[in-house]
Structure 1
């Protein structure tokens, strides 16, 4: 019986670019994969040198493949990315040009991110960022101005990126009576909870209509800096922005300027152009801004869901079947 070799690559350390000890979430994955997929051999190199040797005979890999390691992978036909939206640099030019097929982890934490998105939107709608700061000062300061809140049953929300997460966030918002519209580069047709889903080219047309702008697009060459000064100038006066996709899609300096000018009434962000957000950044201290540190995807069962995708694709790969979650490498998703 012929065998197929899969390499579980050690994860890169974002601080040092070194490769540390095995990701604890993947402990036991090799044995389970070999047990559940007949004909599959799984290797677990611990260093770059070991990974390079393993890749010389690998048919498939899980993890991040920098150019120097990809050059050693002469037989590689499939790479499973460990995230839905891998960090910048994952889709480097050599990987895009290489014939290897890439799959990702899309839809493994949709429920968590959509719930976090709704929490941020509700917090903005009820003015909670300011009250959180008043609480820290033990200051009783009610605001009885009706304009201090956004009535969701009278509001329009624009979801930029109607993938799994954007679609679920829109569905949840619609339950509050919000009119939800979306733009997406790939998706069209009816989406539950959405009054309209338009092509990405309609973004400029829809921005002036939205009381709540939710940025849920992945980071791609086309979406980098998508919400910039020009587009923020198109936003409805007093609109709110929620960013939960990827940090590089929103220009923070331009967002700060739109808040300072009064164009925007507030913003809630989980992702940022620079992470961690520098301690001296003005956004930290604005009473109209709510910040969470890239934790929207936190929740139970993440490792199990990622393993389920890897297992399903490993079975399909060994059987010569079509893989799930296939990525257009040139578009990064």
Structure 2
């Protein structure tokens, strides 16, 4: 198959890891010309001749990209505002970086679940205070072999987290708008209209969903109230899916026993926010995806799509722009 010549613009700002990508792409993708302009006028001039771009295109930059056919998002779930109305209407395909951190995020998810199940947040606080206070009561831990988990979002991360959790003997169900066949370890995957009923059966609710128009505020006061009394909420997806004020209220009332959050509605979480000191909360600062090889995996997605674009083949990780994922 012959390769068509095309121009790809690396939209600034570029990180330290991405500065080497233009040269690498030029050497490995036949027919590609990679531009990495710095100043605003040069960026607009480059976009005017671009067939493809990597980065974020605000409306004014997208307006300069008159022949753009493909935009590679730099993240799996870009920040709010990336999928603005002009981009949604634009004919260019958008691809994202999903499935580049699956193993790291799934492992982090299990670490959070195990910490909640064994009361580690409490014991860490007592260690810091120099207190010896063992709890041997029957309700001190959540026995995972007797527990039920609901994974909301059974894409790559959710499927892997559920598989790992099932290895502990946990009964795992999923909810997803696209996935219908149960991944390994899951008993079944339900459509989104079953969410409210499924919440009441789960000892653990694990959110891996992206931030989309339909998931923003997904876990509000009503949905938190629909959860099983004494259950736990874990969020490793995106912060805007959980209303923090409603979550604090559910913890304060005792309806929820605990929560573990790697992503939050407000990031960074203000130092005076009650969740920092809440005895039922465990917080990590949006680091579930941390781990080796992340930059190389992201480059490989870009390079694979560049090769496919040059050859006229379907791209991977194509996004439904109206749903942001």
User: TM-score higher than 0.5 here?
Assistant: yes
Q: Which residue is equivalent to 1:16?
A: none
Q: Which residue is equivalent to 1:269?
A: 261
Q: Report 1:24-173 matches (<5 A).
A: 24-173=16-165
| Aligned with residue 6 of structure 1, among 5, 8, 18 | 8
| Aligned with residue 218 of structure 1, among 206, 210, 216 | 210
Structure 1 residue runs of 4 or more that deviate by more than 4 Å after TM superposition? none
Cα distance between partner residues in 1 of 2:41 and 2:164 = 48
Q: Which residue is equivalent to 1:17?
A: none
Cα distance between partner residues in 2 of 1:303 and 1:107 = 13
Q: Which residue is equivalent to 1:205?
A: 197
Cα distance between partner residues in 2 of 1:170 and 1:130 = 25
Q: CA RMSD in A?
A: 0.9
Partner of 2:64, secondary structure, is coil
Cα distance between partner residues in 2 of 1:49 and 1:233 = 52
Aligned length: 323
Q: Structure 1 residues 132-141 or 167-176, which shifts more?
A: 132-141
Asked if 1 retains the 8 angstrom alpha-carbon contact of 2:261 and 2:283, the reply is: yes
| Aligned with residue 260 of structure 1, among 252, 257, 271 | 252
Q: Which residue is equivalent to 1:323?
A: 315
Cα distance between partner residues in 2 of 1:179 and 1:254 = 27
Deviations 1:72-97 (A, max 9, x none): 00010000001110011100001001
Deviations 1:217-245 (A, max 9, x none): 10000000001100111111100010000
Asked if 1 retains the 8 angstrom alpha-carbon contact of 2:209 and 2:215, the reply is: yes
| Aligned with residue 288 of structure 2, among 289, 296, 299 | 296
Q: CA deviation at 1:26?
A: 0.7
Q: CA deviation at 1:130?
A: 0.7
Cα distance between partner residues in 2 of 1:234 and 1:150 = 20
Deviations 1:199-223 (A, max 9, x none): 0111011001000010111000000
Q: Which residue is equivalent to 1:15?
A: none
Cα distance between partner residues in 1 of 2:187 and 2:40 = 50
> Gapped runs of 5+ residues in structure 1?
12-21
Cα distance between partner residues in 1 of 2:33 and 2:41 = 19
Q: Which residue is equivalent to 1:282?
A: 274
Cα distance between partner residues in 1 of 2:4 and 2:163 = 47
Partner of 1:25, secondary structure, is coil
Q: Which residue is equivalent to 1:14?
A: none
Cα distance between partner residues in 2 of 1:275 and 1:225 = 15
> Gapped runs of 5+ residues in structure 2?
none
Q: CA deviation at 1:25?
A: 1.1
Cα distance between partner residues in 2 of 1:121 and 1:90 = 31
Deviations 1:111-161 (A, max 9, x none): 000000000000000001111111111111111112011000000000001
Q: CA deviation at 1:27?
A: 2.2
